Amino acid sequence: MQRKINLLLLCFSLLGGGIAFVLGELLLGSRPYDLPSILIVGIYFAIVALGIGLGALLAEMISPRLNGLSWKQRYLGLSWKLLPLTVVILFGVGTLMEFVYELNFGGIRTVKNVVMVIDDSGSMQQSDPGNSRYTAAQELVQQMDTDNQVAVVTFSQDAAVVQPLISLRSTENREKVSEVIGSLQTTEGGTNISGALTEAMNVINTDATSRGAMVIMLSDGFSQFNTATELSEYTSRGIAVNTVGLALDDPSGATLLRDIAAATGGQYYDVTDAGSLGGVFQQIYDRLGDRTLLTERSDATADSPYYAAVRILALMLVGTALGIGLGIIFDNRHLAKSFGIGGWTAGLCAGLILEFGLSGQSFGDTLVRLTAVLVLAAIIALFTYVVPVGEGRLSRRGRRDAAAAPGSEGFHSPRRNRNSKGF
């Protein structure tokens, strides 16, 4: 039993983890076959296990410093057969942890109703002369899931519901909403944000189901608005108002929209070019109720200490499973113990990195996930210096082979060279 490090295993594990990260990010970005997030996360962790496991196995095959030369001579073939088992274990643990993480507790409701509140006041003739906001809203409706309901409210001096909540399950309803939005025109008058949010809440209240709701509000102006009193129903019910400021020259308008978003748990987006509204609307929708172990929480649980703890604990279990899985690959109970404890520690670190590092920014979140994967690989690989390792088979086949081999160096061999000193 010795404390030792295989630096080649550390390098190959980091390399394998890096390659797995790239493949995992491609999976997250493409979401093939519209797979649910539970499966996406499970596959992501399975890919990480494959990358790190393959790197560690190749390193020990080249330089069997941790598992011993006898492993390479007799059990290398078995290790290759056990590699898929580790991948399956990580897929199962990752899927289960994601399932638990997505459960709603404490009255939290899944957001399925979207109310688009669009400014059509006279100032929009300068801010959006090409009516790009309407085109962006139509494109968003076409991209929404079939289980969404959508409504449209417009406002200038007064606010009006031009499309009540309607299900998008049928193509006919989608086309109906698109036609309504396409018929809208810029009017005259001021910017009545208070009236717009009041009408939006009235629309939300027409749905008697337990579905959650959110608001996307676009404006280029400013109006008198008391966030402390006029947003009380939004804040008490956890309904986020995501605000988009278009070509705001008056800083007071941007400040108001930012305050509305902050008070309700939404996000504020500052847009200078109306042509980019489509991408902004899509970004808001993509964050709708997003709660996975690998992304920032953007629903009512964004600041929840409960879900923060669940994410960290989930990564600790994933890390532990990864470490034990590596021990299974090498068919070594001492490595399984060392890697397992190291995986627990690595998972804790990775969970903290994800919980406090994810911010909703695409590039920044990518770097955070890369850091978490590399931390998992590095700490597990280095933990054999903390928890000593030696030869000791996990499988019965390994025990029988070790006992049958004369002069074997296996942990279970009772023989000892007469000329050897000590153990």
Q: Which two tokens stand for residue 333?
A: 């109970």
pTM, two decimals, is: 0.69
Among 148, 273, 313, 63, residue whose Cα is nearest residue 71: 63
- The residue type found at 174 is R
Sheet holding 149-155: strands in order across?
Answer: 159-167, 149-155, 111-119, 212-219, 240-246, 268-271
C-alpha–C-alpha distance, residues 139 and 238, integer Å:
27
Among 62, 60, 26, residue whose Cα is nearest residue 43: 26
Domains and CATH numbers, the chain: 7-104+301-401 (no CATH), 111-286 (3.40.50.410)
C-alpha–C-alpha distance, residues 194 and 218, integer Å:
13
Q: Which two tokens stand for residue 167?
A: 């299900």
What is the residue whose two structure tokens read 């939404």?
Answer: 266
pLDDT value of position 69: 87
Helix 37-62 × helix 76-102 angle, to 10°: 150
Helix, strand, coil abundance in the chain, percent, nearest 5: 60, 10, 30
pLDDT value of position 223: 83
Total residues belonging to the chain = 423
pLDDT value of position 404: 46
Phi-psi region at 252: left, alpha or beta (left = phi > 0; alpha = psi -120 to 50):
alpha
pLDDT value of position 289: 63
* pLDDT values of the chain reduced to their tens digit, one per residue, 423 residues: 788 899 999 999 999 999 999 999 999 888 787 688 899 999 999 999 999 999 999 999 999 988 888 888 888 999 999 999 999 999 999 999 999 998 877 666 678 899 999 999 888 888 888 999 999 999 999 988 888 999 999 999 899 999 999 999 999 999 999 999 999 988 887 889 999 999 999 999 998 776 789 999 999 887 888 888 999 999 888 888 999 998 777 788 889 999 999 888 888 998 888 888 998 898 888 777 668 999 988 766 777 899 999 999 999 999 999 999 999 999 888 899 999 999 999 999 999 999 999 987 889 999 999 999 999 999 999 999 998 876 666 665 555 444 444 444 333 334 444 444 432
Q: Spell out a b/e string for 114-123, using b for 16 or more CB atoms within 10 Å of the CB, else e.
A: bbbbbbbbeb
- The residue type found at 123 is S
Number of neighbouring beta carbons within 10 Å of residue 151: 25
pLDDT value of position 247: 76
C-alpha–C-alpha distance, residues 296 and 353, integer Å:
12
pLDDT value of position 412: 39
